[in-house]
Each structure stands twice: as C-alpha cells, then as structure tokens.
Amino acid sequence: MKEPAGTAVLAAIALGVVLGCGSGSGSAYEAKPIKKPPPAAVKPGEEASLFPLKVGNQWTYVAETQTTTSGVGSTVTDELTLRVAKVEPFGGGSQATIEVVSGKGRPTTYQIWRADKAGIYQVRSDSKSEPFVPPQPAIKFPATAGSKFEWTGTGPTATAEKLSTTVKSTILAPQEIDTMSERVSAIPVEMTSRYTGKNGETLIASVTYWVPNIGLARMRQEIRFGNTAVVQVLRLKANVVK
C-alpha cells in the first residue's frame, strides 16, 4: 500500500518501461487482475468463527478518530490491540475477557464478550464503564443478508449518561473491504440508535465488518450530539488467530 516516494524512484520506473518497450517482444505490459476474495459466508454451527474467542488470539487496529465541534476539527491516529486473556464457559456458549492495549501507552483496560449459538454479544466495552444490560448483540445468527434484530437496554453512552436506548441492526450482503494488509470479504452489520439526554438528541450510526476465521476486520462509527460530530474508523493491521 506504500506509494513510491522521490523522483529517483519514478525515474527508475520510467526507464524500465522504456527498456521493456524495446525488448523485441512487441507486446504491451498487461497488469494482472486483482484476485477477488470469495463472498464471506459461514456454515450453520460455525458462526463463532466470526469472532474466534480463544486465549492468545489478538487483533491490532489502526484507529483514526475525527472530532468536529462548532466547525473546528481535529484528527487523532492511534494503534489499538485486543488480546483474549481468558475464556470460560457461559450458558451454552463462552465468555471472554479481552485486554485492550493502546499504542500510546494509556492504561490497559478490558472488554467482555459472549458467543453462543444465537449470536455474538458485548457485555462490557470498558472496565470503567457501565455493562450492557442485557448484553448487546453485535451479530445474530444465522448471519443472513437482510436479517434484522433489535436491542433495548442500558449501557455506556457517548455522553456518559445512564439511559435506556434502542439499537436497530441489519445484516448486509457480503462486501469486500481493505485491511492494512489485504483485501477480504466481510459480513457487514449496520447499527443505528438515537436517544435524548442532557445534550439533546444523540445519533449513532455504525457498521462493523466480520470475517470468518479472522474476526472484526473493520469498523466505522459516527456519533452526533449537540454541535459535536465524532467519526471513528478501525482498520485491521495484524492478527493472531489460533
């Protein structure tokens, strides 16, 4: 993904093209077509592969956050690693404690997730925040395009208020996305919610992209409240999945 830098590199590329044209082959260079990944799909009973919760699995993301308040914007780029520290049985599935490590040296926190035959759920997004009650589904099974599901409950909010909110979600058709290292096909889940609090109405719209045997590969979330808009994008940089 890195682009050539400097006129010397460009000159060398140009020279190679000129020499190639005089090689006597008489044929122009033809670029190889980009290999398209097959559409993401999961077999019944293998849905947990969309977020493999095994001790030692980890995902590192490049996180870009753009904040605009009263027309004045700023952008912060960070690196974020999620690492599965503990997994234990829970009901008919499993519950995982996931360490969250920031590349800028902020204290390590943790999240809690659950997975069972019905879906993948987030129980806690941060060790210092309120838990989701009941656990909030990130995706419900079967992961079929066009499927819709809804959650109503309490949990952490963008404005740090304890409020009941409703989140409406739709599973979209498989979509090709770029990570920091490759192009993959993912199952997107679109989520929207709104609530009214001390800053008036807050609107939240996000799309998460899940890849079998990899996990969460990309996320885009937009939050608007008062005169503030926050857009956060996560892109998978590297992962270790057993």
Which residues fall within 8 angstroms of residue 128, CB to CB, at 6 or more apart?
Answer: 109
Number of domain units in the chain: 1
**Domain encompassing residue 134:** 51-240
Query: Cα angle vertex 65, ends 60, 68, to 5°?
Result: 175
CATH of the domain at 82: 2.40.360
Query: What's the confidence (pLDDT) of residue 27?
Result: 54
In a domain, 8, yes or no: no
The string of pLDDT tens digits covering residues 15-63 is 333 333 433 444 566 666 667 888 898 888 899 999 999 999 999 999 9
Residue 151 carries which side chain, given as an amino acid letter?
W
**Cα(136)–Cα(155) distance, rounded to whole angstroms?**
9
Q: Residue 133 — very low, low, confident or very high, per pLDDT cuts 50/70/90? A: very high
Identify the residue whose tokens are 């409950």: 153
Query: What's the confidence (pLDDT) of residue 200?
Result: 86
pLDDT above 70: percentage of residues in the chain = 84
In a domain, 159, yes or no: yes
In a domain, 62, yes or no: yes
In a domain, 20, yes or no: no
In a domain, 77, yes or no: yes
In a domain, 97, yes or no: yes
Residue 9 has pLDDT above 50, yes or no: no
Q: Residue 199 — very low, low, confident or very high, per pLDDT cuts 50/70/90? A: confident
Residue 10 has pLDDT above 60, yes or no: no
pLDDT averaged over the chain? 86
Higher pLDDT, 226 or 192: 192
Query: What's the confidence (pLDDT) of residue 43?
Result: 87
Query: What's the confidence (pLDDT) of residue 29?
Result: 63
In a domain, 26, yes or no: no
Query: What's the confidence (pLDDT) of residue 21?
Result: 41
Whole-prediction pTM value?
Answer: 0.82
